[in-house]
Amino acid sequence: MLTLAWSSSLSQSVLKPVAVATGETIAMVLVSLVFAELIGTPLGIWLVLSGPRGLASNDATYSVLTTVVNIGRSIPFVILMVAIVPFTRLITGTSVGTVAAMVPLTISAIPFVARITESAMLTVEPGVVDACISMGASWYQIVKYVLVPECLASLISGAAITAVNLVGYSAMAGAIGGGGLGNLAIRYGYQGFEPVIMTMCVVVLICLVQGIQYIGDSVARRYIWK
């Protein structure tokens, strides 16, 4: 009876809030990753096209884009999250909580995705691109049928790395009211002197990172073999 009572108490006091916080963290990471990929991937393609070896090389455009991306990558996430509070409140109506945290998470991941996309596409053999140009292919066709398929495995691996970084960022977001496992670990684990909650949050975060990396590597390998 005592064992059953203790198990029920543990479920209510620890397992349930950890499960809820885990769901919030997964939601933050997935939504932020989707929007970061939707914005960052075209930005990375634009960097490639306007770069020194690009199909539409333009020094001025490339300089502006690469400067913006570098600035975005150089701002620590915690500072970024605080600095764009007015913008976050404009988009979501609030500056705290899970939904609000998605805005700075997305913005922080966009330049990272752009650089990964650029690096991946620059590994494509120039001879392949030159052959397509000689056959009269447009830059759009080259991007769609050559650059993206050739580096798809790298793009998938990059998405997995981005997701892993977002897991870490989401934990930092919790320190200032962002919700998720970070908020639970700080508020109830650290400040509430509940080492069990703190430990479980850390374990879940580790499992999330391992799971994301495993899935990303597995999917990327399939495209490498193709």
* Residue at 221 is within a domain: yes
Query: Residue 5: inside a domain, yes or no?
Result: no
Contacts with 50 (C-beta within 8 Å, 6 or more apart), sequence order: 56, 57, 58, 61, 62, 65
- Predicted confidence at residue 38, as pLDDT, reads 96
Q: 145-172: per-residue pLDDT in tens? A: 888 888 999 999 999 999 999 999 988 8
Report the distance separating Cα 210 and Cα 206, nearest Å: 6
On whether residue 18 sits in a domain, the answer given is no
Q: Is residue 200 part of a domain?
A: yes
**What range defines the domain where residue 208 resides?**
30-225
Model confidence, pTM: 0.88
Task: Report the CATH number that the domain containing residue 215 is assigned in CATH.
Answer: 1.10.3720.10
The tens digit of pLDDT for each residue in 113-136 reads: 999 999 999 888 888 888 888 888
Provide the 3-class DSSP secondary structure of residue 95: coil
- CB-CB contact of 47 with 65 (8 Å): yes
How far apart CA 110 and CA 39 sit, in angstroms, is 6
Q: ∠ at Cα 154 (60, 50), nearest 5°? A: 10
Number of domains in the chain: 1
- DSSP-assigned states of every residue in 110-168: HHHHHHHHHHHHTTS-HHHHHHHHHTT--HHHHIIIIIHHHTHHHHHHHHHHHHHHHHH
pLDDT at 12: 58
- Is residue 179 assigned to a domain? yes
Residue 7 in any domain: the answer is no
Alpha carbon distance 112, 148 (integer Å): 18
Rounded to 10 degrees, the C-alpha dihedral 113/115/118/122 comes to -130
The answer to the question of residue 165 being in a domain is yes
pLDDT at 225 over 80: no
Who contacts 80 (Cβ-Cβ below 8 Å, separation ≥6)?
104, 107, 108
**Does 14 reside within a domain?**
no
Name the DSSP class of 173: H
Q: Which residues contact 187 (CB under 8 A, 6 or more apart)?
A: 174
Please state which of the ranges 22-26, 174-178, 196-200 shows the lowest mean pLDDT: 174-178
The tokens for 148 are 């993206």
DSSP class per residue in 43-94:
HHHHHHHHSTTSTT--HHHHHHHHHHHHHHHHS-HHHHHHHTHHHHHHHHS-
Q: How far apart are CA 25 and CA 122, in angstroms?
A: 33
- Inform me whether the pLDDT recorded for 217 exceeds 60: yes
